Amino acid sequence: MKLEGAVVVITGASRGIGHAIAEEMGQNGAKVVVNYLHSQKLAEELVTKLRQNNCEAVTIQADVADPAQATRLIEESVQRFGRIDVLVNNAGINIDRSLKNLSIEDWNKVIQTDLYGSFYTIKAAYSHFISQKSGAIINISSQTAYTGMFGQLNYAAAKAGILGLTKSAALELARFHVTVNAVCPGYISTEMYEGMSNGAKEAAVQRIPLGRVGTPQEVARAVRYLIVDGDWITGQSLDINGGMYMR
């Protein structure tokens, strides 16, 4: 697939990894849909920047944890640009608690956004992809899906679920020439990482063989690779963690 002229919908794109993916797509000529939930100002600033670089871009507010809003996101994107070529499921939240302190509400909220949200958007985009007989879906999972993490039962479960969703969707969509893959970042320099204590950040870096955390741009380039050069890659997960976890 060529990114030039392709319509790319990115959930949770106002900041962090999603922001970097939107910039990467725009720099390579894609038409970009920047989805956001609360960060309207950041989303609009991103779209303004993309447009200044001759990229067609729009913002669409939607909570992908709500199936009706997730469907509206996809339908408005198709109405605006006439098609959808790439769906990047990046939207996610974390509410970290130990098992003792994790409430049912905390569990449900993270699962609903991080896992169900990916299903809702894929379900909404399904008919468009099969009618076009082409497309790519990239689901942002996490290294935590493999390793687990103390205090992240809900987050780890959701990200692991995304891997199963990715593989099963890949099997169903392959006959329509639609690839479905996941990207599993380790520690990335985002607001989530920067919110950690200095001691926790130092401990994390010491566990990374390459000696540093990753950048959102490095994740974005991996997403671009799967879209542009991943014609024969589907149902896979690409690990980006500096060697911290090797399968």
Start-to-end CA distance of the chain, whole Å, equals 28
Taking alpha carbons only, the member of 102, 141, 123 closest to residue 222 is 141
CB-based burial label for 15 (10 Å; 0-12, 13-18, 19+): middle
- Residue showing tokens 């200044």: 52
Residues 6 or more apart whose Cβ sits within 8 Å of residue 188: 16, 17, 213, 214, 215, 216, 218, 219, 240
Q: Is 155 a catalytic residue?
A: yes
Q: Pick the catalytic residue from 36, 155, 187, 225.
A: 155
Task: Catalogue the active-site residues.
Answer: 155
